[in-house]
Structure 1
Amino acid sequence: MTHTITARAARAGLLAAAAALLLTCASPAQAVAEREPANDWLLLTVSQGDAQAGVRPGAPSGVPSGATRGALLLCDPPRGHARAARACAELDATDGRIADIPLRDTHCPMIYAPVTAHARGQWRGQPVEYTQVFPNPCVMAARTGSVFAWDTQG
């Protein structure tokens, strides 16, 4: 009879341990699933000059038009450049459409120093492809908000 009580107690203990182990293992998996990013990402580049043409005027064929800078913008949580949180909020407001970001009220110099902005990636599961040549960096910032402003303050 003592053996029967011990076996029952052992079985009950094993069941309780198995249930505790199951709950313990399930909780971190659920927490990881909740923290998994929404896969919103944009590979951003800004090139000096008119990168659509791909060459400098008067340069030998195949010579790139200017230096290129880039950043990877991630939005869950915002990271990738100094103004990532603001850029992600602007993209959220336009469903990831950079061209729909409201024009900033600013005064830009009438200096022709073209820059080409390019973004490729995905937003809320939809592909994003954006390329635009602007007459200068000020106009680019006025029309694209914080998206391409990874190395500026404010």
Structure 2
Amino acid sequence: MTYTKKAALLRGALLTATVLLTAAPAPAQAAAGTGVRSDWLYLTVTHGDARSSDTRGTLLVCGNPPRGHAHAAEACAELDRAGGDIAAIPPKSVYCTMIYAPVTAHARGQWKGRPVDYTQKFSNSCALHARTGGVFALDD
């Protein structure tokens, strides 16, 4: 995927996130100035090397209810326990094959008002899911 296509994809995701976050009404009982919870990540998984065009992505919004992702509740719970730090999600105890089929995971967004920008390459999808839990489970 070319840089232009990736940039257009990211701009579209950010626009969608902005619309979702600004369109959701604030709770009537919320204190003045608290605003809407804004925990969201645009997640992509690219299979293959850097020249691959097999990129899948989705917007994960961790509101009430969590949405935008096949495993939104699980992913939001894992992120909440890790304080929004994907690298701090405890690894799962699974056995993965030694087959090299690289995947690159990327997350960009906002968690508790802090920007999130995470990129990591894994040897295969099993290693990705073992290390990041349900956050990047986009294919299911």
TM-score normalized with structure 2 length: 0.74
Superposition pairs of residues 46-61 of structure 1, within 5 angstroms? 46-51=45-50
Describe the SS at the equivalent of 1:142.
helix
Output the amino acid matched with 2:108: R
Residues 69 and 29 (structure 1), Cα distance of their counterparts in 2 relative to 1, 3 Å cut: closer
Deviation at 1:66, TM superposition (A): 3.4
Superposition pairs of residues 107-118 of structure 1, within 5 angstroms? 107-118=95-106
Deviation at 1:96, TM superposition (A): 0.3
Deviation at 1:29, TM superposition (A): 7.6
CA displacement, residues 31-89 of structure 1 (integer Å, 9 cap, x when unaligned): 2757x6411110000001233xxxxxxxxxxxx22310000000002001111001000
Superposition pairs of residues 1-154 of structure 1, within 5 angstroms? 31=28, 33=30, 37-51=36-50, 64-77=51-64, 78-152=66-140
Question: Any conservation in 2 of the 1:84–1:150 contact (CA below 8 Å)?
Answer: no
Query: What percent of counterpart residues are identical?
Result: 62
Describe the SS at the equivalent of 2:80.
helix
Question: Any conservation in 2 of the 1:81–1:151 contact (CA below 8 Å)?
Answer: no
Q: State the alpha-carbon separation in 1 of the partners of residues 138 and 81 from structure 2.
A: 19
Describe the SS at the equivalent of 1:65.
coil
Q: State the alpha-carbon separation in 2 of the partners of residues 145 and 81 from structure 1.
A: 13
Describe the SS at the equivalent of 2:38.
coil
Unaligned regions of 5+ residues in structure 2, if any?
A: 1-24
Describe the SS at the equivalent of 1:87.
helix
Residues 136 and 39 (structure 1), Cα distance of their counterparts in 2 relative to 1, 3 Å cut: same
Residues 108 and 124 (structure 1), Cα distance of their counterparts in 2 relative to 1, 3 Å cut: same
After TM superposition, the runs of 4+ consecutive aligned structure 1 residues lying more than 3 A away are none
Describe the SS at the equivalent of 2:118.
strand
Q: Which residue of 2 aligns with 1:57?
A: none
